[in-house]
Structure 1
C-alpha cells in the first residue's frame, strides 16, 4: 500500500496532466473541429392540431352556486295619506297577520266660512264651517313581527316609512358569474339546498335571479377563477327547515336535461349561449369555421342542436387569434374563458 501511494498514484497523476497539456496545445495551435454536416438544418418537429369527434351523450345543465343563509329583509310600511297619526292600533314587537290595522292617519282640511248678508239691513253674518276630515287606516301587507317607531300625533307625509314587518323567514342567496347567469336563462322555480353541517338536502322554492348589487370594487365570486359577479340568485327556505343566518350552503339548480344529444367539448366552441362557431376538419387536413346552434351545457361539454352531425371531426380548441376577441355583451359570442376574467 505504501508503494501505491508513493509511486503509482503520483505517476498516474503526472500522466493525466501530460494528456491535458497536449490537448490544450493542439486546440491552441490547430483549433477545434467545428465543422458541421453538409446537409442544411431542417425542422424535425411538427405542430398537429388536436381533433375531436362529435359524439352523443346525456347532458344536464346543473349549476352549483356557493351561497349562504340570509334572513329575509323587513318590509317597509308607508303612509298613504299626509296628515297626523291620531290613533295607534298596534304595538311594536307584536306578531301581526296580513291585513292587520296598525294606525290611523287623519287629515283635516279647513273649509272657508259661510258669509250671509241680510237683505234689509245689509249686515253680514259669518258662520264657521267644520273642517273636512279624511282618515286612512294603515294595514300591514303580510304576517310577521311589527316594528312601529311612529308616535301618536306625529305628522307624516305620503311615502314616509311608518313601520316595518319582519317576515321571520330565511332564504339562500349567492352571487352568479356571467357564464352561470347565461346557463340559468329560463331557470326553474326551485333548487336543491345543502347546508354546511346541516340536515339532508332539501328543496327551496320561489327561486329568483336579479342583478348584482353595485360596488365600488369588483366583487369576485367564491369558487371561481377570479370571475366577477354579475347577478344574484335567491331561493326561499321552506317552513320547518332548520337553518341559521350566515350558514354556508350549496345551491344546486338543474336547468334542463337532454338525452342522446350531439355534444362536443366547450373548448371546441366559440360562444356559449344560443349560437356559436366550431372549426370543422376538411379532407385536406385544414379547418373551416362553421356556425352551430347551441343547447344545454354542463360546463365541460355543450349540446349542438344544429350544424354538426354525429362523428363530424372538429378542432378540439378554438384557433388562436381567429376572429379577434369575442363580443362579451353578445350571448352568441360570449366566451367565459375570455370574458369572465
Structure 2
C-alpha cells in the first residue's frame, strides 16, 4: 500500500476527528462557564464619570470686546415752558441753527400781588378812620426759554401769543452730533471695570476706522433722570421786571445695557449706519490662566478646585486679573502645571449660544 493511500485512509480522517473534538470541547466550555476573563471584569461599568480637568498654563490674555450697533443722532431736546404765561416772542424760526444757551422763546407772565390796606379820614368824623383796600398792580415777568443743545430748531409746537402752562412743549432742538451706540451683555460689563474710555469704530463701506471717545454705559433709569434734570436746568432761567421790551437782553435769574461713544466732528457719518465697536480693555502677556468655567467669581477674588496627588478636589482661593471671556488670568494662589477641574463643581455646562463671556450656572 502506498504512502499517499495510507495518508488518505487513516491520517487525514484522524486529524479531522481531533479538530472536531477540540471544537466541541470549546463550545461546551463557553456554554457552561461563559467567556468572562479578569481583564473583562476591569471594564465593567461603575456609573461614575471622571471629572474633566485642565492644566494651569501660561498664555496671553487680550481683553477686547467686539460689539455691533448703529450710528445715531443725539436725541432731540424738547423746549418746555418754565411758567404759565403767553408766548410773546420768538428769537429764531424753524430750521435755524442755534448754539446751546441761545434764546429761542420769551414768555410773558403776570402775577397779581395781594391787595394792600390804606387809611383815609372821614369828612364828618375828625378822629374816625376807615380802612380801604387798594388793588395792587399786576407784576409782569419775562422768562427766556433757551436752547438746551447746539443744533437745528425744529417745527414750533405753538403759535405766537398762545397761552401755555408750565412744562408745555414749545418745540425741539435737534443736535447734529452723532454717537456710536450698541448693546453690551450685562456679564461683559465686568470686563470694562478697568475704565476703558474709547473704542475703535469700523463702518463697512464707510470711512477709515476711527477712534470714538467718551465711552459710557448707560442704564435706562439713569438716562431718564439725566434727561429730566437737563430739561429743568435749561429752562430755569427767568427774569422779572415791569414793561420790558421784547428782545431786550436781560440777566438770567434702562436685558442689556446701552454702550455709546461720541463720533468725532470731522468724521462723515449718517444716522442709521451699521458699525462695529472694538473696545480694548487691557491685556496681560505670559501669565497663568485657566478657563472662566473653572472659576467661581471672576472679579478680584475667586476660587478654583485643584486636584492633589491623591486626586482629591481641593477648593483654592485665587486672585484674578484680566479676562477675555474665555480664560482668566490667575495672579496668585496656584502654580503653573497644577491640575484643576474644568467646571466648577455643581455647575451645568452648556454650549455657548452667543458671543461674549462664557457662563455656566
Per-residue deviation at 1:102?
A: 1.0
- Aligned pairs for 1:237-276 (under 5 A) are 237-276=263-302
Relative to 1, partners in 2 of residues 1:212 and 1:157: Cα closer, same or farther, differing over 3 Å?
Answer: closer
Per-residue deviation at 1:261?
A: 2.6
Per-residue deviation at 1:249?
A: 1.0
Partner SS, residue 187 of structure 2:
helix
Stretches of structure 1 that go unaligned for 5 or more consecutive residues are: 1-29, 214-228, 326-334
**Structure with higher helix content:** 2
Give distance in 1, aligned partners of 2:123 and 2:105. 52
Superposition misfits of 4+ residues, deviation over 6 angstroms: 122-126
Per-residue deviation at 1:296?
A: 1.0
Residues 293 and 358, structure 2, Cα contact 8 Å, conserved in 1? no
Per-residue deviation at 1:195?
A: 0.9
Give distance in 2, aligned partners of 1:79 and 1:186. 42
Relative to 1, partners in 2 of residues 1:68 and 1:120: Cα closer, same or farther, differing over 3 Å?
Answer: same
Residues 212 and 230, structure 1, Cα contact 8 Å, conserved in 2? no
Partner SS, residue 337 of structure 2:
coil
Relative to 1, partners in 2 of residues 1:43 and 1:152: Cα closer, same or farther, differing over 3 Å?
Answer: farther
Give distance in 2, aligned partners of 1:130 and 1:51. 88
Give distance in 2, aligned partners of 1:77 and 1:138. 7
Residue 233 in 1 paired to residue 236 in 2? no
**TM-score normalised by L of structure 2:** 0.69
| Residue-by-residue CA offset, 1:91-126 (whole Å, 9 max, x unaligned) | 111111122111111211124376552343579877
Corresponding position of 1:192: 200
Residues 53 and 340, structure 2, Cα contact 8 Å, conserved in 1? yes
Per-residue deviation at 1:128?
A: 5.0
Give distance in 1, aligned partners of 2:208 and 2:311. 53
* Greater C-alpha radius of gyration: 2
Corresponding position of 2:34: 36
Give distance in 1, aligned partners of 2:164 and 2:256. 38
Per-residue deviation at 1:127?
A: 5.4
Give distance in 2, aligned partners of 1:126 and 1:178. 68
Corresponding position of 2:73: 71
- Aligned pairs for 1:1-341 (under 5 A) are 33=31, 36-37=34-35, 39=37, 42-44=41-43, 48-111=50-113, 112=115, 115-121=118-124, 129-147=136-154, 148-211=156-219, 229-319=255-345, 321=346, 336-338=358-360
**TM-score normalised by L of structure 1:** 0.73
Relative to 1, partners in 2 of residues 1:177 and 1:123: Cα closer, same or farther, differing over 3 Å?
Answer: closer
The count of residues paired between Structure 1 and Structure 2 equals 283
Stretches of structure 2 that go unaligned for 5 or more consecutive residues are: 1-27, 222-254, 350-356
Relative to 1, partners in 2 of residues 1:79 and 1:34: Cα closer, same or farther, differing over 3 Å?
Answer: farther
| Residue-by-residue CA offset, 1:190-237 (whole Å, 9 max, x unaligned) | 111111222221111121102269xxxxxxxxxxxxxxx321101111
Partner SS, residue 42 of structure 1:
helix
Partner SS, residue 179 of structure 1:
helix
| Residue-by-residue CA offset, 1:156-175 (whole Å, 9 max, x unaligned) | 23332322111112111111
